[in-house]
């Protein structure tokens, strides 16, 4: 059987173990997370549609901590499974979660034909959540992933194919047998193996590893795994994360406690770490070497590689195209390039950026939908080493053309998980909105318009992987700027892991860093210590301070002393070299610009009586602000023009401000940081959810828990952009008046 294009369509409602047996050549699987915004969701569906040409064995969809985005996970899983006809393996975590959510999620999966579940523990319980687990001995609460595996097997027998996680370098965490969860565990894969065996004995069918970059450590783990498990039917998939930028690469490795060998780290000298194009190019070669070495040294036992995509596609497409092991995925296609067509495009207009009228800025590219893609003169038709000389073009806000679009005639009522922010935090619950999930295998067609045509040809895929031509530029428009301050229309917008709001440290580390605050002075001191470098993280940020923060450190400390709890900020700069040690980023020989901005928590009283009146006096030409609170309230002085159906910047779906951009040789303007209404609203909800995660560390009715919950309800989140980047001190002078 040809593994790339079967003579009959794949039945997505099959087990991974069954599908794997039919593969005769190396293959891939892909992980995606539910985007935080509706435009991001639409663009992700486009992206997955294109990446289906890689014939992934399966696709996994992440589950946010505590099931806080259960509806989004189920909705995305349903569309991929039913409309894109790709086998889905849905993540499911069990700790800190109501059992009814698990039951409802499993029932939905069974109803829509999903046969594969990745059973994970999730964040370990802490505070009173931990006490609840300890005290309730007779209930069906779950402490470990093995408990979830047993539960699924008990209730569904062999209907689901169940996967579990493994840690090739050992799991880093806390001792679950300690009530205070204050015993750090040293990473040791040998010590972890009994827990993995327990999950397999409970009924697991396959294993996906945590991300790693040290091949030797993985090979040692794989050898011990085979010796100890002694069950050839258990599949092992190595987890790989492409290197898209040095900052995210470092952060992902830190969060996962993955070793970065010096042989890899040495390939990223300081002078190139801010040039994402060079970093990505090196990263592609590193991932290819990892794949080739694993495949060769396991004699082909490991022949399916699981990619943590971060909802991006370019690096993965290039890895597959250039890897000796994986390129057969493209070569084996029996679909003629001359007869394969892209899925029918349903274009939806996208808002323009404020920089669209700047010189050197590329305008929105339009694809002539009637033109045969094989005649596109921009397509790259060879597998030669990529020539980057003319391919460093990053479009400014151009979204990928859509294969999937919500049907305007009938919009399904959808609701993301319901978090009751108005009630006391102890009663907050997450529920699955049953009405948002289709009740039969055909009902999603009411919400999504799809033309089920052939997959993209190999020519088109290579063009996309190079980021070349109209299709390539449309597909990879968001590859350079992404993350929380990128374009919210990007599927990759938001945190890098897609697992929802959570603290990035253990209980013990959290107490060590932030203590047990009892008054507002304690809170202010936490933020000031972070600015002074005494502590390296806040509940909302696990990254250290950037060098440019030093330029406004005194002002930020003074603001925090006033009760303005600063989360993010940047100083202004005008035409600085891209290689500058403080402001520099991107390729060499460029010029970068920044507007000053600040994001902070302040009391609602301070906002209403002091800061808002001051900003309103200046007007929106000088400043743009967004403000929101725990109840979902939002305000901005960017007035909506109902007559023209747009905001002052010309957008139709919300105001936005580009606050960091650069001009580089042979490239259009690159926008790396954007502050906009859509992204602010998404971050507002997440920021107040992180307050709740911090609160939950402490026992119910404890002074610290009561105090933090009071602050959470009394504060608002404010983001302010100062537009005159020539006057570099004006924002700080205004705030400190």
Domain of residue 398, CATH code: 3.20.20.220
Q: Based on the domain organization, do 582 and 463 belong to the same domain?
A: no
Among 357, 376, 551, 520, residue whose Cα is nearest residue 457 = 376
Q: Based on the domain organization, do 429 and 528 belong to the same domain?
A: no
Q: What distance in Å separates the CA atoms of residue 76 and residue 112, rounded to the nearest whole number?
A: 12
Give, as one character, the DSSP assignment of residue 266.
Answer: T
pLDDT score at 136: 44
- The single residue of 18, 22, 31, 38 carrying the catalytic annotation is 31
Q: Last residue of a domain, which of 475, 496, 518?
A: 475
Displacement of CA 354 from its chain's centroid (Å): 25
Q: Based on the domain organization, do 465 and 548 belong to the same domain?
A: no
Q: What distance in Å separates the CA atoms of residue 64 and residue 93, rounded to the nearest whole number?
A: 8
**Taking a C-beta distance cutoff of 8 angstroms, is the pair 65, 502 a contact?**
yes
Among 142, 137, 131, residue whose Cα is nearest residue 97 = 142
Domains of the chain: total = 2
Q: Last residue of a domain, which of 460, 475, 490?
A: 475
Q: What distance in Å separates the CA atoms of residue 299 and residue 226, rounded to the nearest whole number?
A: 14
Residues in the chain: 737
**Taking a C-beta distance cutoff of 8 angstroms, is the pair 344, 367 a contact?**
no
| Residue 405 domain-assigned (yes or no) | yes
Q: Based on the domain organization, do 387 and 461 belong to the same domain?
A: yes
| Residue 5 domain-assigned (yes or no) | no
Tokens of 93: 């975590």
pLDDT score at 360: 29
Helix residue ranges, H only, 399-552: 458-466, 469-475, 507-514, 520-532
**Taking a C-beta distance cutoff of 8 angstroms, is the pair 687, 575 a contact?**
no
Q: Which residues of the chain fall below pLDDT 70? A: 1-10, 65-68, 123-141, 173-185, 332-500, 638-654
pLDDT score at 135: 40
Indicate if 676 belongs to the active site: no
pLDDT score at 539: 94
- Containing structural domain, residue 205: 16-475
pLDDT score at 66: 59
- Helix, strand and coil content of the chain, in percent to the nearest 5, comes to 40, 15, 45
Give, as one character, the DSSP assignment of residue 371.
Answer: S
Q: Based on the domain organization, do 466 and 534 belong to the same domain?
A: no
Q: What distance in Å separates the CA atoms of residue 337 and residue 457, rounded to the nearest whole number?
A: 5
| Residue 550 domain-assigned (yes or no) | yes
Q: What distance in Å separates the CA atoms of residue 431 and residue 35, rounded to the nearest whole number?
A: 19
Q: Based on the domain organization, do 579 and 439 belong to the same domain?
A: no
Q: Based on the domain organization, do 462 and 576 belong to the same domain?
A: no
- Judge if pTM exceeds 0.75: no
Return the number of other C-beta atoms located less than 10 Å from residue 455's C-beta.
Answer: 22
Q: Based on the domain organization, do 423 and 561 belong to the same domain?
A: no
pLDDT score at 469: 60
| Residue 592 domain-assigned (yes or no) | yes
Secondary structure of residue 324 in the 3-state scheme: coil
Q: Based on the domain organization, do 451 and 525 belong to the same domain?
A: no
Q: Which residue in the block uniquely carries the two structure tokens 């036992």?
A: 301
C-alpha distance across the termini of the chain, in Å: 73
Q: Based on the domain organization, do 512 and 470 belong to the same domain?
A: no
pLDDT score at 431: 44
Q: Based on the domain organization, do 85 and 136 belong to the same domain?
A: yes
Q: What distance in Å separates the CA atoms of residue 581 and residue 688, rounded to the nearest whole number?
A: 34
CA-to-CA separations, 471 to 360, 366, 374, 379, 462, in angstroms, rounded: 21, 10, 11, 8, 10
pLDDT score at 565: 97
pLDDT score at 637: 76
pLDDT score at 159: 96
Residue 522, burial from CB neighbour count under 10 angstroms (0-12, 13-18, 19+): middle
| Residue 53 domain-assigned (yes or no) | yes
Q: Last residue of a domain, which of 475, 496, 529?
A: 475
| Residue 605 domain-assigned (yes or no) | yes
- DSSP secondary structure string, 504-516? SS-HHHHHHHH--
Q: Based on the domain organization, do 311 and 431 belong to the same domain?
A: yes
| Residue 1 domain-assigned (yes or no) | no
| Residue 6 domain-assigned (yes or no) | no
């Amino acid at each position: 059987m040809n593994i790339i294009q079967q003579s009959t369509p794949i039945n997505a409602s099959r087990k991974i173990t069954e599908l794997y047996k039919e593969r005769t050549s190396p293959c891939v699987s892909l992980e995606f997370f539910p985007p935080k915004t509706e435009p991001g969701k639409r663009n992700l569906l486009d992206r997955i549609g294109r990446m289906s040409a890689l014939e992934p064995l399966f696709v996994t969809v992440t589950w946010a901590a505590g099931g806080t985005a259960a509806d989004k996970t189920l909705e995305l899983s349903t569309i991929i499974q039913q409309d894109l006809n790709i086998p889905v393996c849905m993540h499911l975590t069990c700790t800190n979660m109501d059992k009814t959510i698990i039951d409802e999620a499993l029932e939905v999966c069974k109803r829509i034909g999903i046969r594969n579940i990745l059973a994970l523990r999730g964040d370990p319980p802490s505070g009173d959540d931990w006490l609840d687990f300890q005290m309730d001995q007779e209930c069906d609460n779950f402490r470990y992933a093995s408990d979830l595996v047993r539960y699924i097997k008990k209730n569904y027998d062999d209907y689901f194919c169940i996967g579990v996680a493994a840690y090739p370098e050992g799991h880093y965490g806390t001792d679950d047998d300690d009530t205070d969860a204050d015993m750090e565990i040293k990473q040791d894969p040998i010590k972890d193996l009994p827990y993995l065996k327990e999950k397999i004995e409970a009924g697991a069918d396959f294993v996906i590893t945590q991300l790693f970059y040290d091949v030797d450590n993985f090979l040692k783990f794989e050898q011990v795994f085979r010796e100890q498990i002694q069950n050839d039917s258990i599949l092992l998939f190595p987890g790989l994360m492409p290197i898209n930028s040095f900052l995210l690469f470092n952060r992902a490795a830190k969060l996962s406690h993955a070793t970065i060998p010096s042989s890899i780290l040495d390939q990223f000298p300081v002078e190139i770490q801010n040039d994402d194009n060079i970093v990505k190019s090196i990263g592609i070669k590193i991932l290819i070497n990892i794949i080739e070495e694993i495949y060769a040294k396991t004699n082909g036992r490991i022949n399916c590689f699981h990619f943590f995509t971060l909802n991006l596609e370019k690096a993965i497409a290039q890895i597959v195209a250039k890897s000796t092991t994986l390129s057969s995925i493209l070569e084996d296609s029996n679909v003629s390039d001359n007869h394969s067509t892209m899925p029918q495009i349903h274009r939806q207009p996208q808002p323009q950026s404020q920089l669209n009228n700047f010189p050197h800025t590329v305008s929105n590219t339009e694809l002539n939908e009637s033109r045969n893609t094989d005649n596109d003169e921009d397509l790259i038709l060879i597998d030669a080493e990529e020539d980057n000389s003319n391919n460093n073009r990053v479009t400014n806000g151009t979204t990928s053309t859509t294969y999937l679009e919500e049907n305007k005639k009938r919009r399904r009522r959808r609701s993301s998980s319901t978090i009751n922010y108005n009630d006391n935090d102890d009663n907050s619950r997450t529920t699955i909105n049953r009405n948002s999930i289709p009740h039969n295998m055909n009902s999603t067609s009411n919400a999504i318009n799809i033309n089920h045509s052939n997959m993209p040809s190999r020519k088109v895929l290579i063009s996309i992987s190079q980021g070349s031509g109209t299709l390539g530029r449309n597909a990879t428009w968001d590859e350079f700027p992404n993350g929380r301050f990128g374009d919210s229309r990007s599927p990759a917008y938001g945190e890098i892991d897609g697992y929802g709001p959570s603290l990035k440290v253990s209980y013990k580390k959290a107490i060590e860093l932030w203590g047990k605050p009892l008054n507002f002075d304690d809170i202010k001191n936490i933020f000031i210590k972070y600015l002074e470098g005494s502590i390296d993280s806040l509940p909302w940020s696990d990254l250290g301070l950037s060098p440019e923060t030093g330029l406004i450190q005194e002002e930020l400390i003074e603001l925090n002393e006033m009760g303005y709890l600063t989360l993010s900020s940047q100083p202004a700069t005008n035409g600085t070299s891209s290689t500058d040690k403080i402001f520099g980023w991107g390729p060499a020989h460029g010029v970068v610009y920044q507007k000053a901005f600040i994001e902070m928590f302040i009391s609602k009283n301070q906002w209403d009586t002091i800061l808002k009146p001051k900003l309103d006096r200046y007007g929106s030409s000088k400043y743009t602000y967004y403000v929101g609170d725990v109840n979902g309230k939002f305000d901005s002085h960017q007035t909506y023009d109902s007559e023209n159906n747009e905001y002052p910047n010309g957008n139709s779906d919300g105001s936005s401000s580009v606050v960091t951009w650069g001009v580089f040789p042979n490239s259009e303007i690159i926008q790396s940081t954007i502050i906009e209404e859509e992204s602010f609203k998404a971050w507002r909800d997440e920021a107040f959810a992180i307050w709740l995660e911090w609160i939950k560390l402490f026992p119910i009715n404890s002074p610290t828990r009561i105090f933090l919950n009071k602050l959470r309800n009394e504060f608002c989140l404010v983001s302010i952009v100062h537009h005159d980047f020539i006057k570099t001190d004006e924002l700080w002078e205004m705030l400190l008046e």
